Amino acid sequence: MGEEKELFISLFDIIFSITSTMDLIKPELTLHSQRVAYISFSIGRLLGLPWEKIYELVLSGLLHDLGVISYKDTKFLKYFESDIENGNSYKHAFITYYLLKDSTYLENIARYIKFHRVNWNFGKGREFNREEVPIESHILHLADRIEVLINDDENILSQRGRILKKIKENSNKMFVPYLVEAFYELAEKEYFWFDLSSKNLPNIITKKTMKEDKKLNIRDFEELSEILARLIDFKSPFTSIHSKTVSKISEVIGNYLNYPQEKLTHLRIAGLLHDIGKISIPSEILEKKAPLNNEEWYIIRSHPYNTHKILDNIKGLENIRDWTSFHHERYDGNGYPFHLRDDEIPEEAQVIAIADILTALSEDRPYRKALSPKEILLITEEHIKGGVNEYLFRRLMEIIKEVTLEINKHLLSSKEEYEKFRSYLRSLDN
């Protein structure tokens, strides 16, 4: 039996899948990120930028509004004018920067996004707060403002003159003049507009980008998964380190079950990504103190389905996809959203489910304080009996006290990261 082939994962697939899910859930931003990515790609290629920069521009376009973490934040994004002084238009850009900046693969992209709402202002926009603004940020800014001028109720070519006029009026004020000239040259080509309005735009972007895609090994992907976990956990102070804790506790349980190192790595990643489908859940629901109404509960129940949808589009993650998206399934068939039962549910998914329950009970929530170890033991035993296989249930009962202690230790040691994020948010309001 030969050695198992090392797994490599497409960076583009990861980013495209996550942002596609966001767009589907937020109607006012439908296709916005994909169009900005395509416009940025087209301008970068026309300017003859190196392919690596063009690739980064595409990912920047896809990710540029990721800092918009609740529905109420999206309305101002469709306004053409970018009033950098009022703070409203750039705060989401700085949040996106903070969330992505520690990733080896997204460091440059984070910097481009940070300044993507800075106006050129007759050359003053070369810097912002004494930091150099990359030209890629100005390309992203131009692409972003072109896109908000598009009206999906009109024929795309009939809008060309109006859009060009508006952009030209703001050359040197909002936009770098030579970038505006490049856009004028691009706008002469009908295919550009037809691509922008095409329902096939996702495939168009994929085809143009994938030829030079970056591939991540499993260690790189684990690092990126920690960044992606932030996107979910930082949406609410009540879940600020939830995914990292689930990841750690899944590993603790996996170690006790004598899982090999490779499986433990995959299990940690699954723990980090188990709630990635919550990217579409409004913070207002996550932080609600009163009981959820039926509609809100239905939205919550969609998150494992969305997790499955996100990871299903990424080749090589089939096991991790199932372990994450099945963590609300129950052995007795009464789980959701797929209503699997018995051996249809992988043991690893059941481990994630146990870690998720234990972590949630150990955390403060909007409607209650963290429970005591005794309460956690009683509720966990009651909740998972019938929810996981009998063997796993017995093994967990043997180590539940040790696991609970490990959770509390991890929660105490990990809060500093979220506090830094909160401090950063406060600095943006000053």
pLDDT digits (tens, 9 = 90+) for 266-313: 999 999 999 999 887 887 888 888 889 999 999 999 999 999 999 999
Quote the pLDDT of residue 73. Answer: 54
Cα–Cα distances in angstroms (integers) from residue 369 to residues 61, 246, 358, 362, in the given order: 40, 18, 14, 9
Asked whether residue 141 carries a pLDDT value surpassing 90, the answer given is yes
How would you classify residue 330: left for phi > 0, otherwise alpha for psi between -120 and 50, otherwise beta?
beta
Per-residue pLDDT for 86 more than 60? no
Question: Per-residue pLDDT for 231 more than 90?
Answer: no
Asked if residue 220 is part of any domain, the answer here is no
Give yes or no for residue 346 having a pLDDT over 90: yes
One-letter identity of residue 288: K
pLDDT digits (tens, 9 = 90+) for 397-424: 888 878 887 887 777 767 778 888 888 8
Distance CA 245, CA 238 (A): 13
Percentage of residues in the chain having pLDDT higher than 70: 92
242 and 100, same structural domain?
no
Q: What angle do CA 284, 289, 294 make, to 5 degrees?
A: 70
E-assigned strands of 155-242? 215-217
pLDDT of residue 353: 93
Number of other residues whose CB lies within 10 A of the CB of residue 64: 30
Q: Is residue 244 part of a domain?
A: yes
Q: Provide the number of structural domains found in the chain.
A: 2
- Kindly report the average pLDDT of the chain as a whole number: 88
Instruction: Choose between 365 and 77: higher pLDDT.
Output: 365
Question: Which pLDDT belongs to residue 3?
Answer: 46
What does the pLDDT read at residue 124? 97
Q: What is the DSSP letter of 388?
A: B
Is 227 part of any domain?
A: no
Of the ranges 83-87, 354-358, 374-378, which one carries the lowest mean pLDDT score? 83-87
Which pLDDT score, from 0 to 100, does residue 365 have?
80
Alpha carbons 323 and 268: distance in angstroms, whole number: 11
Q: End-to-end CA distance of the chain, in Å?
A: 62
- The pLDDT confidence band at residue 12, using thresholds 50, 70 and 90, is very high
pLDDT at 372 over 70: yes
Provide the H-helix boundaries in 78-134.
88-100, 107-114
Q: Are residues 109 and 173 in the same domain?
A: yes
User: Percent of the chain at pLDDT above 90?
Assistant: 61
- Specify whether 204 is located in the same domain as 310: no
Residue 351 in this model has a pLDDT that exceeds 50: yes
pLDDT per position as a tens digit, 244-259: 999 999 999 999 999 9
Query: Between the CA of residue 335 and those of 56, 146, 292, 387, what are the distances in Å?
Result: 40, 45, 18, 8
| Domain identity same for 209 and 253 | no
Q: What is the pLDDT confidence band of residue 1, given thresholds at 50, 70 and 90? A: very low
Instruction: Clarify whether residues 263 and 404 are in a common domain.
Output: yes
Confidence grade of residue 376 (pLDDT, cut at 50, 70, 90): confident
Q: Which domain covers residue 325, as residue numbers?
A: 233-429
Q: For the domain that residue 175 is a member of, what is the CATH number?
A: 1.10.3210.10
What residues pair up with 128 in beta bridges, in sequence order? 131
Residue 147 lies inside a defined structural domain of this protein? yes
Q: Look at strands 131-132 and 127-128 and give their pairing.
A: antiparallel
Name the least confident of 15-29, 114-128, 217-231, 283-297: 15-29
Sole residue written with tokens 């996702």:
202
How crowded is the C-beta side of 162, counted as CA atoms within 13 Å? 11
Quick check: 133 and 175 in contact, CB under 8 A?
no
What is the C-alpha separation between 260 and 263, in angstroms, rounded? 5
The verdict on 240 and 339 lying in the same domain is yes
| Shared domain check, 377 and 292 | yes
